[in-house]
Structure formats: structure tokens, C-alpha cells
Structure 1
Amino acid sequence: MTKMKVLAVDDNRTNLHILQIFLKKLGHDVILAENGEEAVRKFETELPDLVLLDIMMPVMDGFEAARRIKAMTRDRWTPVIFLSALNRDENLVEGLDAGADDYLTKPINFVVLEAKLRSMQRSLAMQQAAIDSLRRVQAISDNVLDAIVTTDEQGIIVSVNDSTERIFGWSSSELIGQSIGMLMPPDTREGHAERVAAYCREDRASRVVGQEREVVAAHKDGHYFPATIAISQVVLDSQRMLIGVVRDITERKQTERQLRDNARQLQNYYDQTQTEQQLALRLMEKQLHRVGLQDPRLRYRVIPAEHFSGDIVAAARSTDGRFYVLLADATGHGLAAAISVLPVLALFYRMTKRNRSVQEIVSELNQQLKESMPVGRFVAVTLASLDEASRRGEIWVGGTPEAFLLDARGRVTTTFPSTNLPLGIVSSTELGGAPQAFTWDAESQLVLCSDGLLEATNPGAEQFGKIGLIAAVADTSPRERFERILTALETHQKNCPASDDVSLMLIDCA
């Protein structure tokens, strides 16, 4: 057992000396006082664990001293044992009424006194353990960021933690003993006590216990703030206590509002962008799908990697019956690439209507792009014209993959390599490169494509390539050839998304 600090009080110095020797032999620290007034003064300064108090003393008797000592020990129990020669029942009753915890008559039986001291020691040890436990709980509670408010069944605040003071602005001394309604707005406060009582009477607390809900809380300075509250209940000494854990969610609500505002702005921006893109798409469609593309000798397909394609195809007949085809691929893909090739279309249709040569058209397209395109932007082009009457044609390839002339059985008879720079990089005088002339036999076809088709990959990162294209058309009839290419491409990709725009043109030469 731990030693105690004992205050021994007796006006008889011999008795005090005997008590001192006895207590020290038991291992306790001893404080001596010779009257009640001295005992009260030393109790206040020394804070002993236990008091052995004589009753009949000068200046202040033991009864008065016991009452004053007990008045000073509200937060902590300090046992008081009367030692007195008065042994009548009324003396015992008066001593207990004065606040004594035990009574021992003189002459002192030290065996009994030792037993009583051990009993008090055990009680004090349990009290200290309870105090230590309470302090730990209080320390944990005070370091919780949420407010913890405990009330009785009538809604009167019994205890609060430090965060309650920070969140609500009231000190603990201002809160304890007051109605919990002071932490609520007036419209919520009214009738709260009756609701709490009704819950407790009808055992309806289970409807709110353990459930977190949002409420509006009131600060000391008068402003209201959003909060969440979770209520639990305990029963102490047959009395039900309600424990509310309150969290200030002002910042969370502000964040939620900001997120909602951002989401609304993003949605508005998205809607506006979609509207603008739809308008741009309709304008692009109108520019791209000209009558010339409906020529029965032409089949084509453009597959954009995004909403807009940087690849374009065009076809037109001149006034003397010459058939022109164009496949262009601008830098990048998407709307920016699509806009880059629009000037190409306008010039192509204007110049083909005038029956201009491939060389003239290429030169004019290059000059226009060189003057209008920013540095680093260019357009790869394959441009061909076919004179059906003479079965003669010419083709210019700059930056796009090589073009192929196929015979009736799908074999490559002529390859037109990409020997020229794309348009828009250098001036027309520096561009150089004359178109390549060619002739064809019956049922010959001309194949043009963009690099997006040849570079299309499968799940193993293998490209479709020139080999895939030639394999797809080998030993096929002119009528089925176009679909065979598209089917072979789809089979090769196996649902892999295209990383670039894909365009394909197949022209019947005869």
C-alpha cells in the first residue's frame, strides 16, 4: 500500500507524540496540530490524505474543524476519523453529522486503528485510480476537435470539453448548469426541454442515439453556423445522461458550395463548348461534303480520332470532264487541325472548276498555307487528276503515305512515293517536285490514304502498315476492295482506339 500524509490533531502533546510514532512506524508522513483552528490552517496548506481528529480541544473543537475541512474538500474525498473519549451514541451521531467518516473512542486500540487506516488506504487508492482515470478521459476529451456536451434528462448541461468553448464561444463556467437550448437558435430552442423529456419518458432516445444529423448551432456572439451532432446515452447512478458530439462543419459547407459552384460553371462551360462544337461541326460538314464526293467512281472514309478530323478528302470535276481528288492531313488532330485545312478546300474547288493543272493547284495551296499557317503547322497532301478520255493522269504526293495504282486483280502496278515536302513549310518557289504522270488499264484503281491508317495499331502495338493494306486488296475484285480494306483495318485494331485521324480514298480510274 502507498503511504499517506496524515494530519493528527490533539491538544494533548503526549497523545500526539504517541500517534506520531505509531503512524511513522506504519510508513506514513505525519503533520501535527494541537487545536481545531491550527488543524484547519494546516489542512489548507498541506493537503493531507487523511485526518485523525480529537473532539474536545481549545480554540476550535473537532466538530467545527471537521465541518470546515469537509467544506474545503469538494473535488476530492479526504477521510476524517474522530478520536475521542466521548463514547455516547449522541457523540457518535454528532461526529458523523459534522462530516466524519469514522469514529474511534479513546483509549485508542491501535490494532483497530491500523485496520481502519488500511481500509481508508484502500479507499483512497481506489479514489486516486478513479481520479487518474477521469483525468485521462478528460485529457482525451479536451483534445478532441469536436465539442462534447453532456446533459441530464432535463437538458441541463453537466459537463463540456475544451473544444466546446472554442466552437461556441462560451466558457465552461457559463455553460454548466444551463439549458442546452442556449446553444441553439431561438426557433429550435423553444420546446427543446419538453422534447428531451418526452424522449426519455417514452424511451424514444433510440431514434436519435447513434445517428449523426445536421443542425444549426448558435454561437455566443449571436451568429449561427452549420454543425453535425451525434447523440449517445449512458446511465450513471440510475440517472440517464445524454452525450452530444458536435462538429462545426462551416468549412465543409463552404467547400461543398464552392464545389457546386465550380461544377455548375464547368457544366455551363461544357454546354457552351458543346454548342459551339456542334455549330463548328455543322459548318465543317457543309464545307467538307461537296457534290464531287458523291461521284460513283469514288469511295472514301474519314475516321476522326476526336470530334473533328484533321484529315479531309475532296473531289470535283472540271468543265472539260477531268476528275480531281484530294487527300489532305493537317498537323495534329481535332478542331485546330480541322480549321487548318479549310483554306485548302476553298482553293481546291475554285481552281479545279477552272481546269487548272495539278502543279498550279499545289503551288497556290502552298502559298496560301505558307502565308496563313503559324510556324510548325503544315498540311500533307496527295493531289491527283484523271483524264478519262486519254486514260492519263498526274499525281503529287507531299508528306502523306505513298499512293498505289492497282490492277483488276488488286495487284500494285505503280507506287507513287512521297518525295515532296508538306504544304505550308517553304515558299512555292522552293517547293519543287513536279507531279508524276501515269496511265492505267481497264478496271484499275488508285488508292490514297493518310498515315493514320498505316500507323493504326493492334493490342500488341503492331501497325497496320503498307503490308496490311496490300494484303487486304490482293486477289480482290474492284467492287469489293474498299470494304475489304476497312474490314482488315477493324480486324487488326481489335477495338484499340485510333491515335490519329484515318482517311482512305479508292478511285476507279476508268
Structure 2
Amino acid sequence: MKADAPNLKLHGTALVADDELSNRVILNALLKKLGYQVIQAVDGADAVEKFRQHSIDIVLMDVMMPVMDGYAATEIIKSETADKFIPVLFLTAMTDDKALARCIEVGGDDFLTKPYNHTVLSAKIQSMERIQNLHQDIRMLYNRMQMDEEIAEQVFSGAVLAGNVVLDQISHLHKPASIFSGDIMLTAYSPSHDLHVLLGDFTGHGLAAALGALPTSEVFRSMTAKGFSPPQILQGINSKLHKMLPTGMFLAAQFVKISASLDYITVFNCGMPDLFVIDGNTRRIKNRLESRSMPLGIIPDSNFQEDAQHIRVGLGDRVLLTTDGVSEARDPTGEYFGSERLITAIEQSGEQAFILDNVSSALDRFCSDAPQDDDITMVELPLLPELLPSWRVDQLLAEQTHVDPNSLLDHDSDSVEFHITLRGMQLRKADPVPLLINYIQEMVGIRTHNQVLFTILTELFINALDHGVLGLDSSLKEGPDGFTRYFEERDRMLSQLNEGSVHIGLRIHPQANGGWIVIQIEDSGPGFDFANATSAQGEKPLFSGRGIQLLSSLCESFSYLEPGNRAEAIYAWTNE
């Protein structure tokens, strides 16, 4: 009885290109034994045409053929299969090194010398099949990785970037070195209507570098919304990243607080390139602020308070933030763009609306077609009213509904009291205002009045700390360098503070249609002669400046008590 022929596994379709019929017949027989369907071509041009007409899995290509040789045909075939591995085995009787090297140079994957040996041919094809299968696995994994990155990028954009504010007034350039960027830009308004901006650069780039962006944005936005100060926000981000980031990974960052009055900015530079403050008219650099702090996530406890840089600014000035991908960008010869070229591009921006446009053009010209090594991010902040919320003091005052404070105090009502005292070193790092706001919300939930209450409590606490405990004189703020001088003296005195205290008491009277809060504050300072401290122009207190005037307008009543180190404010609200 005759045995059945073995079932061969169908491996695909092979293209045999040879101008000699005998060679094609031999290869056809050998390939069919290996489980291939065979398509034959008589020259290089015919091979290219057949390749385009059929789905080919492997090519056996003779070198010397009429019309088009095997070298030219292979170059065309390989150029049309860049996203798929189609092995090409050259068939040649030549044995010199140059000819064989030429086979590899044009894209060939191996070669087979004539006359053909079935065992050698089978081994070479099996080797190509293993490479082909490996290539398919890699391609499948790469496609899956790309899909995962695209999904993650959508989540990243929705969770990190979508929450940013005032992007229509900020000029920013973001060029990631891969799908994912290790650079991050965050913007948010504080309850006092200051603008907080953070530009960060995680170690490396790609998905791994971007993993820290989600917790960073969460801490930044939540703490900014609650009224925490920039040093506290940076400490919160630092603590979070130190717990979650692997060793060797960290976040370099620039943090800018733009005051709601647009007359000064506070800058923290944590391991980033220099930050520039630029005159809005001359385009000359007014301040170049270098790094004073370590990047975030390296050590668990960092004190950012002493690293603050306070700069007086003018209307129309610009603040330029950059990651190190700008200065470390390279041209085709490998030379770095550097800080000097950056400065030149800044000061030669001329009449352009945004300085960043000129810097970006200079960077593009310099880099030309050189590969990008790192993420590139730049942010330009124009110090103009449009950068800040439309909220204004006069608008708030116009919406304020006042009642007779005596009628409030005489009214019998259930009340809740809360007292907090900060002493000595606690005054250096603790900010009680977010805690007090949170407590008020827990008690009565008047979220629509958060901004007003935050303003009142902040003004009271800052006045008690700065002028009561530290004894700072507001006249220090006068002059071009006044803010810098004032805050440097404030930071110096706070760093040495070991005694003194500020006590805050809240008495909340909620009612069905509204209620009122009595805020009392007392500092350990000697007080002042508040009864006689008025100016000749009117009732503006000489000791208070704009802050206490604002308090008097926002509250139902505001008064100082003997001996001048105590104050009481009453704020009332109605339920809409």
C-alpha cells in the first residue's frame, strides 16, 4: 500500500527572479517542497512588477539579469516594504567580497551561491522565517505600545493640560522628543487672584518621564485652589514625588506667582535654566534668575521659603521660562544652541508681539534638520491685565450687601467658635488661612464667598505677622527694588524667628437666610497709636496702606482695639 504524501505547512508565497529557466525550475521544485507557492520573474523589472501584483513573503533574486539587475530591483522592493520585513536572498555565482557586500548594501538579507544545495537553501529560508516571525512580533508589540501611548496621551491631556487657565494670553512652545513629553506646564488662579505658573522638566522623556505629571498637576491645582502659598505647594509636590518616583528620577521646575496687582512676581527656580524678566518696551533683560533650589523629588524635606526671589515688575513686562531642551538643542554639527544665543534672540525680538516667536525662529534656523535629543518647552508670560481674572475690587464691592453690624451682634443665634494660635517657629512655615477657609466651609458651606473670606483673612494675618510680630515698615517697598528689599528682609527675619505669636479666633453665626462671621486677630507686637494714625488727605490709615482700606470696604465693620495689636472684622453673607 502506497503511503500518503506528508502534509506540508503552507509558508506563503515566494518570488523567484532569474533570467535562466533551468534555475527557476530547480528553485520552484525546492521551494514547493518547503511549502511555498512560487511566482516566477524573468528579470529585475518583471520581479518588481510581480512583487507589486502579489502578496510576497520571500524573494530569491538573481544578481545579473537583463532590463534591470537584481541590485536595482531589490532597492525598489525594499523601499516599498519599509513597514514590513520581506527577506531577499540573492542568487549569485560570484564569490568575490565586493559583489557579496553589494548584495547587503542594497538591502539583501542573505545570499545563496550557485549551484543550489537543498539543505543550505532550507536552512537559510528557515532562518529568514524566524527573523520574519520575530519582526512581526516586534511590530505587533510596537503597534500595541503606540495605541497605549495614544490612549495615555488623551488621558494626560484631559487630566493635566485641560485644567490650565488663561492659555489664550500666554505664548508657549512645546516640542516633545517623542509621543510623550517629560515637560509639563501648569497654570491656575489662587483665591487671591494671583496667577500661579509651573514649568517642569522630568528626568528623561517619553512615557516614563510623563508619569509624574498626573500627581504633580493634582497637588498643584488642589493646593492653589485652597490658597496655599508657592513654597507650600512646592513642598507638597516634592513630598508626593519623593514617595512615588524611582531613584534617579526627579522634576526640575520653575514656579512663578504673578501678583493680582501686577506690580511684583515671586519666582522659585528648582534646578532649571535661568528665568528671564524682560522690559516690555526695550526688550532688554531686567532680571536673570538662576536656580536656588534642588529639583523636586530628590530629598523628602525641602524648605523653599528661603529660595524665593521677589521682583518688582512693570505693566507690559515679560517673563520667559524655558526647559534645558532649548539651550541644549544641537545643530547638525553637534554644537549647542546655548544661553548666549538665547539671550541674543530675546533682545533682538524687536516689535514682535511675543518674544518667544523670535526665539523659536532662531532655534529652528540653528537646529536645521538635526535630530531632537530632548523635549523643548518655552513659556512667555505678558504682564498685562488680560492675564488675570476679570475680578476686580470695585466689582466685588459693588456686589457686596451691607447690613447694620449692631443688628447682627444683638441677634440671638447659635454660634460655632474656632481658635488657632501660631507661635515662634510655626510662623515661619505655617499658613493658617487655607485651614480656616476649609473649616468655614465644613461649618456653613458658603463657597461663593471663598474669595472674599480668603482676602480678609490673608490681609489680617499678613498685617499681624509682618507689621505686628516682625515689625516691618511698609515704606521698605518703595523704589524700584523695594519689593525685593522688603521680601528679602521679611525672609531673613522669618528664618531667625523663634518667638512671637499670632492668635486668630472665628465665631460663626449661621442662619437660614445667611449669617455672619466675627474674626478676631491678635499679635504679640507692641501695637501702635491707631487712633491718631490718619493722613491729612482723609481717613486712609497711614499704617495700613491699601490692604486695611480693602478690609474696611469688604466687612460690615472693621476696627482696631487697644493697644493696637488686636483687630476685629465682621463679615456678613446672605443666601441667594
Q: What range is the shorter-chain TM-score in? A: 0.5 to 0.7
How many residues are aligned here?
291
Q: Which residue of 1 aligns with 2:129?
A: 257
More off after superposition, 492-501 vs 399-408 = 492-501
Equivalent residues of 2:235, 2:303 under 8 A apart: no
Equivalent residues of 2:231, 2:305 under 8 A apart: no
AA of the residue aligned to 2:382: D
CA–CA distance in 1 between the matches of 2:228 and 2:177?
Answer: 33
Among residues 275, 280, 295, which one is paired with 1:403 in the alignment? 275
How does 1:84-99 map onto structure 2 within 5 Å?
A: none
AA of the residue aligned to 2:347: A
1:209 Cα deviation from its structure 2 partner: 6.6
Among residues 118, 124, 127, which one is paired with 1:247 in the alignment? 118
Among residues 278, 281, 286, which one is paired with 1:413 in the alignment? 286
Q: Which residue of 2 aligns with 1:213?
A: 27
CA–CA distance in 2 between the matches of 1:316 and 1:335?
Answer: 24
CA–CA distance in 2 between the matches of 1:345 and 1:275?
Answer: 24
The verdict on how the C-alpha distance between 1:398 and 1:472 changes in structure 2, with shifts beyond 3 A counting, is same
* Unmatched runs of 5 consecutive residues or more in structure 1: 1-181, 188-205, 219-223, 231-243
How does 1:427-446 map onto structure 2 within 5 Å?
A: 427-429=300-302, 433-446=306-319
Q: Which residue of 2 aligns with 1:330?
A: 202
1:350 Cα deviation from its structure 2 partner: 1.1
* Unmatched runs of 5 consecutive residues or more in structure 2: 8-19, 39-61, 63-114, 385-576
SS at match of 1:213: helix
Q: Which residue of 1 aligns with 2:296?
A: 423
Q: Which residue of 2 aligns with 1:273?
A: 145
Q: Which residue of 2 aligns with 1:40?
A: none
1:351 Cα deviation from its structure 2 partner: 1.4
Query: Structure 1, residues 41-66: CA drift from partner, whole Å, max 9, x if none?
Result: xxxxxxxxxxxxxxxxxxxxxxxxxx
AA of the residue aligned to 1:414: N
Equivalent residues of 1:312, 1:341 under 8 A apart: yes
The verdict on how the C-alpha distance between 1:286 and 1:211 changes in structure 2, with shifts beyond 3 A counting, is same
AA of the residue aligned to 1:258: R
CA–CA distance in 1 between the matches of 2:315 and 2:31?
Answer: 90
Query: Structure 1, residues 93-146: CA drift from partner, whole Å, max 9, x if none?
Result: xxxxxxxxxxxxxxxxxxxxxxxxxxxxxxxxxxxxxxxxxxxxxxxxxxxxxx
Select the structure of larger CA radius of gyration. Answer: 1
1:207 Cα deviation from its structure 2 partner: 4.8
SS at match of 1:214: helix
CA–CA distance in 2 between the matches of 1:308 and 1:299?
Answer: 21
Query: Structure 1, residues 228-263: CA drift from partner, whole Å, max 9, x if none?
Result: 9x9xxxxxxxxxxxxx96623432343233233222
1:211 Cα deviation from its structure 2 partner: 5.3
Query: Structure 1, residues 311-342: CA drift from partner, whole Å, max 9, x if none?
Result: 11111122332111110001111111111232
Equivalent residues of 1:292, 1:317 under 8 A apart: no
Q: Which residue of 1 aligns with 2:362?
A: 488
Equivalent residues of 2:292, 2:307 under 8 A apart: no
The verdict on how the C-alpha distance between 1:507 and 1:210 changes in structure 2, with shifts beyond 3 A counting, is closer
Equivalent residues of 1:216, 1:226 under 8 A apart: no
SS at match of 1:256: helix
SS at match of 2:29: strand
AA of the residue aligned to 1:468: R
Equivalent residues of 1:341, 1:379 under 8 A apart: no
1:470 Cα deviation from its structure 2 partner: 1.5
1:372 Cα deviation from its structure 2 partner: 1.2
CA–CA distance in 1 between the matches of 2:325 and 2:130?
Answer: 43
Q: Which residue of 2 aligns with 1:236?
A: none
Q: Which residue of 1 aligns with 2:351?
A: 477
Among residues 180, 185, 208, which one is paired with 1:313 in the alignment? 185
Equivalent residues of 2:325, 2:374 under 8 A apart: yes
CA–CA distance in 2 between the matches of 1:258 and 1:210?
Answer: 25
How does 1:314-393 map onto structure 2 within 5 Å?
A: 314-389=186-261, 391-393=263-265
More off after superposition, 338-347 vs 244-253 = 244-253
Work out whether 1:453 is the aligned partner of 2:267.
no
CA–CA distance in 2 between the matches of 1:245 and 1:494?
Answer: 50
Which structure has the higher relative contact order (CA within 8 Å, separation 6+)? 2
SS at match of 1:282: helix
Query: Structure 1, residues 6-37: CA drift from partner, whole Å, max 9, x if none?
Result: xxxxxxxxxxxxxxxxxxxxxxxxxxxxxxxx
CA–CA distance in 1 between the matches of 2:347 and 2:116?
Answer: 79
Query: Structure 1, residues 398-421: CA drift from partner, whole Å, max 9, x if none?
Result: 110010100022111111111111
Q: Which residue of 2 aligns with 1:151?
A: none
Equivalent residues of 1:380, 1:422 under 8 A apart: yes
Q: TM-score, normalised by structure 2?
A: 0.47
1:343 Cα deviation from its structure 2 partner: 1.5
The verdict on how the C-alpha distance between 1:402 and 1:508 changes in structure 2, with shifts beyond 3 A counting, is same
Work out whether 1:465 is the aligned partner of 2:338.
yes
The verdict on how the C-alpha distance between 1:279 and 1:186 changes in structure 2, with shifts beyond 3 A counting, is closer
Query: Structure 1, residues 452-502: CA drift from partner, whole Å, max 9, x if none?
Result: 101112223322222112211215236141211110110111121221111
CA–CA distance in 1 between the matches of 2:233 and 2:183?
Answer: 18
Among residues 148, 168, 175, which one is paired with 1:296 in the alignment? 168
What CA RMSD, in Å, does the superposition of the two structures yield over aligned residues?
3.1
Q: Which residue of 2 aligns with 1:135?
A: none
SS at match of 1:428: coil
Q: TM-score, normalised by structure 1?
A: 0.52
CA–CA distance in 2 between the matches of 1:225 and 1:280?
Answer: 44
1:430 Cα deviation from its structure 2 partner: 5.8
Query: Structure 1, residues 167-210: CA drift from partner, whole Å, max 9, x if none?
Result: xxxxxxxxxxxxxxx9x9799xxxxxxxxxxxxxxxxxx85477
Percent identity, aligned pairs only, is 23
AA of the residue aligned to 1:360: Q
Query: Structure 1, residues 248-282: CA drift from partner, whole Å, max 9, x if none?
Result: 34323432332332222222212211211111111
The verdict on how the C-alpha distance between 1:226 and 1:343 changes in structure 2, with shifts beyond 3 A counting, is closer
Q: Which residue of 1 aligns with 2:504?
A: none
How does 1:158-197 map onto structure 2 within 5 Å?
A: none
CA–CA distance in 1 between the matches of 2:232 and 2:30?
Answer: 78
CA–CA distance in 2 between the matches of 1:481 and 1:448?
Answer: 11
Q: Which residue of 1 aligns with 2:492?
A: none
The verdict on how the C-alpha distance between 1:441 and 1:252 changes in structure 2, with shifts beyond 3 A counting, is same
CA–CA distance in 2 between the matches of 1:283 and 1:467?
Answer: 38
CA–CA distance in 1 between the matches of 2:129 and 2:21?
Answer: 30
SS at match of 2:316: coil
1:310 Cα deviation from its structure 2 partner: 0.5
AA of the residue aligned to 2:176: P
CA–CA distance in 2 between the matches of 1:319 and 1:387?
Answer: 12
